[in-house]
Amino acid sequence: MGKTMAEKILARAAGLQAVSPGQYVTARLDLLMVGDFSAEIYDAFRDIGISSVWDPSKVVALVDHEVPAPNVKVAEQDKKRRAFAREFGIAHWYDVGRGGICHQVLPEHGHVLPGSLIVGCDSHTTSYGAFNAAGTGIQVPEVYWAAAKGELWFQVPETIRFEITGTLAPMVMGKDVILQIAGAYGTDFALYKSIEFVGEAVKEMSLSGRWAIANMGVEVGAKFALFECDEKTLEFLRGRTRESFIPVESDNDAEFESRYCMDVSDLQPQVACPHDVENVQDARGLSDISINQAFLGSCTGGRLEDLAIAADILRGKKIAPHVRLIVMPASQEVYRDALSSGVLQTLVEADASIGPCSCGPCVGYHSGLLAAGERCISSSNRNFKGRMGSPDSEVYLASPATVAASALTGHITDPRLL
Amino acid sequence: MSNTVFQGVLSGRVWKFGDNTTTDYIMPGFAHSGTAAEMAKFCMYANRPGFAAEARPGDIIIGGRNFGCGSSRPASRNLQTLGITCVIAESLSRLFFRSAINLGFPVLPCPGVYEIFEEGDTAQVDFRTGEVRNLDSGAAVQTHTLPEIAARILEAGGVVELLRREYAARPGHGRQTSP
């Protein structure tokens, strides 16, 4: 019997010939992304009496959820994060101005290798599936175990094979594809499962589009959201890593829990309406919804391609007078490239406010939050009630193109109708 | 933070929360910088204001499908702080399930559980057999027991306790072995 991508990666990491869905295994981690939870690990290790991480070269730590420190409490946490990196000899530590949002930074710095098993202290760790890596989230306190031992238990997931066919129309992005999937099948259709995205549309799609889909795999419940490794993946990795890797593909006779097929040729720009990611409608039917804020950023929609398509839409124009457009490049590399290519200048001239490389309003902790009665259209990933500030505010999720078009008009706008 | 030690059988007054109850509701981002007690005051503030004030130690949450979806934040800490003893739901998000077990907070996926309870009923959950019973109506549903690894972590009181035992036993490590 053939095997799926998830089964192959978990079997290798567990040191077994083969594994099957439902089986419990203990797997060695290829990489641990502790994100900004290093402060908690630092405290817990001292408390428990753990003096070292299992392999300092395989731990990546950074700051992203609250950057730069918005208050003294966070500043004190940041101090601990730096102490963790220093005292535990963490090889890969990205401080303010050196990194950005974890799921952007890790691939950019060559840490995410095809065929690898990665866990991270963030739900959107599924992002690494865009690079053929089985990435999934964990949290404190389990990360203490992972950091100390470099291994974790997993139940081998069943696999959904999701074929995407057709050709995406201009101004329709990977984000629209995953919103359409969430709307059609619900936010739990892949619960505990691994999804494999394959098909002609996937091959044609930019890596950035795949990245957005894998990122939001967790929004439909997935444990892993995997893509095959192809020339686009290899091109991205060139010059970023010297490590060897072995990509995985599912065997022809692999056993899938289910198969889905979706043609995206007629797909329209999609919007997830409050307060659920599965509450999805066509953007063109929502033009009577006015907005106060537009957010372009996050690990879902803050890449160069995302900022560039927004700049194309806003070039030589001003956003609507009553709207504030907040732009946060997902990483220092994105920021630099958007700066040198003139993208940021175009956005600034359109009256965008450019913020630091941070999760920003998406996580609802500290910046760009919403007051009662306000509405935001956002290229981020969650629109739960109160997610971005007041419980009486509303968040609409859309592609970067739709966010830019809506910022321009002041109401939700299909970018093809401008 | 109160740490609910896994007892095997739990019973208590029922609160019901529907489908897709997110960790953003359970542990809101806008309150994340407070102390444990301050954070817990805002548990379910967006979807059900008043819950945190009315919840009593010993209460049980019965959830719909995909309970605990969304962020990986350790949301069960807020439920532990309020004294909620367990969450039994139609289905649980993978992250919430793992996070809860590792925090020593009992949770159990149980299809069919939502409809056999009205809010305020008394539930009895037997983690050893997988039976969830409404002590008022007598209705019961049967589900799978927790996987062995999860039960072991729960019985220890969470993954920190497991680590504590292991590192305390190592020479040169842990406070207990310090001279």
- How many C-beta neighbours within 10 Å does residue A181 have? 26
Q: Give the gap in angstroms from C-alpha A49 to the nearest C-alpha of chain B.
A: 4
Q: 């439902």: which residue's tokens?
A: A22
Partner-chain contact B29 A223, CB within 8 Å? no
User: What tokens were used for A395?
Assistant: 């968040």
DSSP, collapsed to helix, strand or coil, labels residue B152 as helix
pLDDT value of residue B177 = 36
Rg (CA), chain B: 17
Partner-chain contact A365 B71, CB within 8 Å? no
For the domain with range B9-146, which CATH number is right: 3.10.20.30, 2.30.30.90, 3.20.19.10, 3.40.50.150? Answer: 3.20.19.10
Sequence-ordered alpha helix ranges (H) in A192-331: 200-204, 207-215, 231-237, 298-301, 304-314
Select from B30, B66, B173 the Cβ nearest to the Cβ of A188.
Answer: B66
Chain B residues whose CB is inside 8 A of the A369 CB are 30
**Domain A271-417, CATH:** 3.30.499.10
pLDDT band at residue B6, thresholds of 50, 70 and 90?
low
Pairing relationship of beta strands A117-120 and A159-165 according to DSSP bridges = unpaired
Partner-chain contact A364 B29, CB within 8 Å? yes
User: What are the two backbone dihedrals, phi and then psi, of residue A93, each rounded to the nearest 5 degrees?
Assistant: -125, 125
Using the predicted structure, report yes or no on whether residue B50 has a pLDDT greater than 90.
yes
Alpha-carbon gap, residue B85 to A320, rounded angstroms: 50
Which residue in chain A is spatially nearest to B23 when comparing CA positions?
A384
pLDDT value of residue B174 = 45
pLDDT band at residue B173, thresholds of 50, 70 and 90?
low
Partner-chain contact A139 B160, CB within 8 Å? no
Q: Is A15 on the interface with B (CB under 8 A)?
A: no
ipTM metric: 0.95
Partner-chain contact A142 B102, CB within 8 Å? yes
pLDDT mean over B101-118: 97
Using the predicted structure, report yes or no on whether residue A36 has a pLDDT greater than 90.
yes
Which residue in chain B is spatially nearest to A153 when comparing CA positions?
B149
pLDDT band at residue A196, thresholds of 50, 70 and 90?
very high
pLDDT band at residue B169, thresholds of 50, 70 and 90?
confident
pLDDT value of residue B172 = 60
Nearest to B76 by CA among B87, B60, B66: B87
Using the predicted structure, report yes or no on whether residue A417 has a pLDDT greater than 80.
yes
pLDDT value of residue B5 = 53
Chain B residues whose CB is inside 8 A of the A137 CB are 72, 95
Residue type at position A51: S
Those residues whose C-beta lies under 8 Å from the C-beta of residue B174, and which sit 6 or more positions away, are A48, A49, B164, B167, B168
Q: What homologous superfamily does CATH list for A5-242+254-262? A: Aconitase, domain 3 (3.30.499.10)
Q: Is B65 on the interface with A (CB under 8 A)?
A: yes
What does the domain layout of chain A look like in residue ranges?
5-242+254-262, 271-417
pTM of the predicted protein model:
0.96
Q: Is B35 on the interface with A (CB under 8 A)?
A: no
Residue type at position A262: M
pLDDT in tens, A346-375: 999 999 999 999 999 999 988 999 999 999
pLDDT band at residue B33, thresholds of 50, 70 and 90?
confident
Alpha-carbon gap, residue B112 to B170, rounded angstroms: 46
Helix, strand, coil proportions of chain B in percent (round to 5)? Answer: 30, 20, 45
Select from B30, B74, B99 the Cβ nearest to the Cβ of A389.
Answer: B30
Q: Give the gap in angstroms from C-alpha B153 to the nearest C-alpha of chain A.
A: 11
Chain A residues whose CB is inside 8 A of the B46 CB are 384-386, 391
Q: How far apart are the two ends of chain B, measured CA to CA in Å?
A: 29
**Which residues pair with residue B44 across a beta bridge?**
none
Q: Is B46 on the interface with A (CB under 8 A)?
A: yes
Chain B residues whose CB is inside 8 A of the A194 CB are none
Please provide the average confidence, as pLDDT, over all residues in chain A.
97
Select from A44, A122, A139 the Cβ nearest to the Cβ of B160.
Answer: A44
Q: Is B52 on the interface with A (CB under 8 A)?
A: no
Using the predicted structure, report yes or no on whether residue B1 has a pLDDT greater than 60.
no
Alpha-carbon gap, residue B96 to A28, rounded angstroms: 22
Chain B residues whose CB is inside 8 A of the A44 CB are 160
Sequence-ordered alpha helix ranges (H) in B10-85: 23-26, 36-41, 51-54, 76-82
Q: Give the gap in angstroms from C-alpha A385 to the nearest C-alpha of chain B.
A: 6
Q: What is the DSSP string of B140-151?
A: EEE-PPPPHHHH
Tell me how many degrees the CA angle A287-A410-A281 measures, rounded to the nearest 5.
Answer: 30
Partner-chain contact A365 B29, CB within 8 Å? yes
Q: Is B167 on the interface with A (CB under 8 A)?
A: yes
pLDDT value of residue A337 = 98
Using the predicted structure, report yes or no on whether residue B7 has a pLDDT greater than 80.
no
Partner-chain contact B33 A365, CB within 8 Å? yes
Nearest to B82 by CA among B112, B45, B114, B117: B45
pLDDT value of residue B176 = 41
